[in-house]
């Protein structure tokens, strides 16, 4: 049984339930045992999936393994049929996620007898269609991978020393840097994921369509594959480039990009601007009789924005979106920045879509149309089930939104998971026990616990660059706040920003899956780092002996983990 955003397994003979949640290029699998507790010999789930049109099931691999009789561990990633997943939910990125049709998942419970032999119970099957566009012909949500520091990156593209062959060491040579890694093209596609593909595809369409007029607002602008496409547009491009501190010097990459675009677009079509603080939009508007697209969100047109950070991009299609965002562009260009708050662009504008409700508001705002208090009010008074957030700079932005998140976190009736950057590198992760724990990107660079490999620190700096809040993804009232807006006073009053409010369960589910996969990634990195510090190896748990607890004990005894298990499954 499936919907546009989830599906469930229907095998009544299976001893557990299965629910799939559609993400963007990813699937969240959630399982829950029917009985009060799983049996003591239950050691996890085997996860297999089948691509649309195929008869072959591929097994999801698990790097963790059972310790063998000789006390050795297999250092290789093993099939989950032999090394089951000891979690009640799992985010999976299937190969060829763009294929049309359902991806079918087969989840099988795995048991172990006292001799260490595995056996298998009745499986659940369910299918979900991923497709590339969230709402074909209207709107698409796309994410970057954001996993330069991960075991997957190490497996695919080498250890941490090789990062310098893929990314410039700093932004000062971004426009001239050329990757020398032998798998550079593949690595760029993997790291940039759907956001890179979607943004470059829109620009390619504009280049090919000689009638297309293109308006761009860029905060960071140091990525050659973007600048080269903008150059090809010639005078059909009008661009505003931020010139705040760090972007304004003669050697800044944004100035170098400006100089190049002056040669192709012309002096009247290239403007520098910082509004009252920052021109922080990341915006593309394409308008022609046959191509009408808007790109917005948190993804900067930079090496870090595409390939290092966790970011999102929203691609909107149609005249209404183009006209609304195009007017905001013209307002930035023509209205004195101190007067922008009085423009209609600073108010909420509802866009006409047949499948979802979407409103947009542009900063800077004035006293009568500021957004922070109304967002905080919605968080505190409108969250009835769950709150997910992934917020860059939350540690640096005291105010109503941070206070509202704190209030809902303390509400034991609501489920809250979140991740935010920390002021000096690293991240803060809201743990399952309600505590906040830091994780630094260099945590596994040198002292990874067995069986893990050392990872790349990826150049440091902000890693998690999202700005989104998901309220009640599992309710008909599901909604997401997102955009370039940092939910800070500066973003509201001083900067050029876009803020979207999307009311739709498919979109809310996609952002929930993104929040959860980042949370799980960094939560596990905390576990890895703690194991490394304690000089312990990470292994799968065997059935408990007398006096021991099973691996699933906390999932059935911790109130927060019980909520986790039940919410998704």
CA dist., res. 59 & res. 41, Å (int): 22
Question: Quick check: 278 and 244 in contact, CB under 8 A?
Answer: yes
Residues in the chain: 569
- Quick one: tokens of 427? 């991240």
Contacts for 123-126: CB closer than 8 Å, 24+ residues apart: 123/11, 123/14, 124/9, 124/11, 124/14, 124/16, 124/17, 124/18, 124/31, 125/9, 125/11, 125/18, 126/1, 126/2, 126/7, 126/8, 126/9, 126/10, 126/18, 126/19, 126/20
pLDDT at 420: 75
What is the distance, to the nearest Å, from the Cα of residue 452 to the centroid of all Cα atoms in its chain?
A: 24
The helix (H) or strand (E) run that includes residue 39 is none
Question: Quick check: 475 and 468 in contact, CB under 8 A?
Answer: no
pLDDT at 340: 96
Which of 527-558 are b and which e, b meaning 16 or more Cβ less than 10 Å from the residue's Cβ?
Answer: ebbebbeeeeebbbbbbeeeeeebbbebbeee
- Quick one: tokens of 462? 């902000």
Strand 237-242 to strand 213-218: parallel, antiparallel, or no bridges (unpaired)? Answer: parallel
Crossing angle for the helix pair 184-208 and 224-232, nearest 10 degrees? 20
pLDDT at 434: 47
CA dist., res. 470 & res. 466, Å (int): 12
CA dist., res. 561 & res. 534, Å (int): 25
Q: At which residue do the structure tokens 């601007």 appear?
A: 273
> Could you tell me the pTM of the whole model?
0.93
pLDDT at 347: 96
| Angle (CA) 257 261 266, round 5° | 150
CA dist., res. 424 & res. 176, Å (int): 29
Question: Quick check: 189 and 97 in contact, CB under 8 A?
Answer: no
Taking only the tens of pLDDT, the chain with its 569 residues reads: 445 889 999 999 999 999 999 999 999 999 999 999 999 999 999 999 999 999 999 999 998 889 865 556 665 568 999 999 999 999 999 989 989 999 999 999 999 999 999 999 999 999 999 988 999 999 999 999 987 777 778 778 876 557 888 989 776 789 999 999 999 999 999 999 999 999 999 999 999 999 999 999 999 999 999 999 999 999 999 999 999 999 999 999 999 999 999 999 999 999 999 999 999 999 999 999 999 999 999 999 999 999 989 999 999 999 999 999 999 999 999 999 999 999 999 999 999 898 889 999 999 999 999 999 999 999 999 999 999 998 887 767 778 998 999 899 888 899 988 877 654 345 455 554 445 555 554 554 545 555 666 666 554 556 788 999 999 999 999 999 999 999 999 999 999 999 999 999 999 999 999 999 988 877 776 666 666 565 567 889 999 999 999 999 999 999 888 999 999 99
pLDDT at 1: 42
Short-list 382, 366, 458, CA closest to 414: 382
Query: Three-state DSSP class for 390?
Result: strand
């Amino acid at each position: 049984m499936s919907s546009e955003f989830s599906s469930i397994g229907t095998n009544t003979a299976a001893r557990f339930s299965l629910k799939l949640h559609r993400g963007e290029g990813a699937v969240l699998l959630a399982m829950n045992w029917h009985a009060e507790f799983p049996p003591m010999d239950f050691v996890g789930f085997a996860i297999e999936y089948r691509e649309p049109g195929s008869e072959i099931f591929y097994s999801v691999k698990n790097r963790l393994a059972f310790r063998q009789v000789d006390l050795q561990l297999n250092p290789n990633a093993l099939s989950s049929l032999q090394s089951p997943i000891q979690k009640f939910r799992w985010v999976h990125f299937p190969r060829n996620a763009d294929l049309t049709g359902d991806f079918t998942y087969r989840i099988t419970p795995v048991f172990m007898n006292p001799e260490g032999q595995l056996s298998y119970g009745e499986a659940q099957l369910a299918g979900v269609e991923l497709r590339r566009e969230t709402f074909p012909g209207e709107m698409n949500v796309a994410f970057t991978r954001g996993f330069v520091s991960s075991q997957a990156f190490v497996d695919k593209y080498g250890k941490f020393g090789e990062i310098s062959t893929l990314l410039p060491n700093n932004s000062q040579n971004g426009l001239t840097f050329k990757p020398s890694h032998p798998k550079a093209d593949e690595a760029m596609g993997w790291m940039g994921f759907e956001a890179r593909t979607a943004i470059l595809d829109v620009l390619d369409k504009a280049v090919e369509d000689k009638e297309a007029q293109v308006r761009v607002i860029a905060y960071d602008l140091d990525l050659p594959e973007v600048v080269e496409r903008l150059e090809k547009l010639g005078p059909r491009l009008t661009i505003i480039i931020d010139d705040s501190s760090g972007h304004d010097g003669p050697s800044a990459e944004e100035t170098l990009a400006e100089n190049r675009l002056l040669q192709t677009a012309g002096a009247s079509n290239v403007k520098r601007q910082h509004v009252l603080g920052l021109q922080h939009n990341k915006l593309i508007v394409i308008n022609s009789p046959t191509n009408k697209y808007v790109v917005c969100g948190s993804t900067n047109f930079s090496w870090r924005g595409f390939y290092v950070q966790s970011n999102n991009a929203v691609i909107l299609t149609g005249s209404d979106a183009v006209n609304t965002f195009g007017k905001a562009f013209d307002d930035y260009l023509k209205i004195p920045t101190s007067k922008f708050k009085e423009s209609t662009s600073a108010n909420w504008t509802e866009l006409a879509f047949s499948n979802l409700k979407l409103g947009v508001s542009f900063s800077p705002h004035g006293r009568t149309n500021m957004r922070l208090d109304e967002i905080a009010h919605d968080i505190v008074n409108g969250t009835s089930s769950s709150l997910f957030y992934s917020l860059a700079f939350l540690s640096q932005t005291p105010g109503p939104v941070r206070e509202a998140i704190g209030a809902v976190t303390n509400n034991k009736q609501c489920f809250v998971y979140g991740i935010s950057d920390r002021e000096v590198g690293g991240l803060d992760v809201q743990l399952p026990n309600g505590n906040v724990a830091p994780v630094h990107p260099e945590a596994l660079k040198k002292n990874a616990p067995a069986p893990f490999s050392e990872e790349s620190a990826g150049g440091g700096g902000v890693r998690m660059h999202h700005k989104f809040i998901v309220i009640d993804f599992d309710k008909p009232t599901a909604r997401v706040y997102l955009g370039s807006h940092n939910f800070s006073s500066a973003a509201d009053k001083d900067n050029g920003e876009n803020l979207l409010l999307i009311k739709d369960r498919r979109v809310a589910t996609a952002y929930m899956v993104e929040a959860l996969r980042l949370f799980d990634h960094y939560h596990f990195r905390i576990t890895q780092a703690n194991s490394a510090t304690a000089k312990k190896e990470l292994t799968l748990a065997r059935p408990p002996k007398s006096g021991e607890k099973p691996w699933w004990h906390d999932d059935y005894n911790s109130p927060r983990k019980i909520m986790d298990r039940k919410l998704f499954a």
